[in-house]
């Protein structure tokens, strides 16, 4: 049985991704900064809760040690600031910590096992707001952080063996606490492409950016 770790998974898109992987027979670790909320969500879907604050390198190191070898990593955790990018240095640092540095450290810790066993799947949950083709939009540092996550996807796919597939995806505008109630997609619809990328066969793509299972522009 393959073991998957999904970050920020106690609600929203992350929970839908975790649930989808459980349903496909994966042993899923549900990463959550709020461990009590993570335990409650994990119990509902048949996953195992893992205390993980992706903004904290010490928390990442402890979580990796607790988790053991991981075959599938979904970097889903995210935050959405507000205001102008140059007005709030703290938001910039927080955004980069959660959506770039945290994913980087998890990949740093977990990819050696993936490369050694000639199998791994990494899904970076990004956004169209992180695309240069869409003008790197969004509030505060969100778009910049997602653009950096996209760059990390491309660079790591180039350096890892083809058996370890690294892709980014855009879930679209999803009805979550972050997306709001007016969004046009359910969490399950937003999670679909991430689940597809997490379960790719050996001939699947790597180093790509996808929405609705189709390539989109960087």
Nearest to 150 by CA among 123, 186, 176: 123
> Of the listed 26, 129, 142, 209, which one is catalytic?
142
| 104 flagged as catalytic | no
Q: What's the Cα-to-Cα distance from 110 to each of 8, 121, 131, 135, 139, rounded to whole Å? A: 17, 11, 26, 32, 31
Q: For the chain, list the strands marked E by DSSP.
A: 3-6, 27-32, 48-51, 72-75, 120-125, 164-169, 209-211, 214-215
Give every CB contact of residue 102 below 8 A, 6+ residues apart in sequence: 7, 54, 55, 60, 75, 77
Q: What angle do CA 35, 150, 11 make, to 5 degrees?
A: 25
Q: Which residues are catalytic?
A: 142
């Amino acid at each position: 049985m393959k073991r998957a770790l999904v970050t920020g998974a106690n609600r929203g898109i992350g929970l839908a991704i975790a649930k989808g992987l459980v349903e496909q027979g994966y042993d899923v670790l549900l990463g959550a900064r709020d461990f009590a909320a993570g335990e409650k969500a994990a119990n509902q879907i048949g996953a195992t809760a893992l205390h993980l604050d992706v903004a904290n390198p010490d928390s990442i190191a402890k979580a990796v040690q607790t988790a053991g070898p991981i075959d599938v990593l979904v970097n889903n955790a995210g935050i959405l600031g507000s205001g102008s990018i140059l007005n709030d240095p703290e938001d910039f640092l927080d955004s980069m910590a959660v959506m770039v540095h945290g994913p980087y450290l998890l990949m740093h810790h977990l990819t050696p096992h993936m490369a050694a066993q000639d199998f791994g799947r990494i899904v970076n949950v990004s956004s169209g707001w992180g695309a240069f083709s869409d003008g790197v939009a969004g509030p505060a540092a969100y778009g910049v952080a997602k653009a950096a996550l996209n760059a990390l996807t491309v660079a790591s796919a180039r350096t890892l063996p083809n058996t370890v597939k690294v892709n980014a995806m855009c879930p679209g505008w999803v009805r979550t606490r972050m997306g709001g109630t007016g969004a046009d997609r359910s969490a399950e619809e937003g999670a679909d492409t991430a689940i597809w990328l997490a379960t790719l066969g050996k001939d699947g793509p790597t180093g790509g950016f996808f929405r609705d299972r189709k390539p989109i522009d960087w």
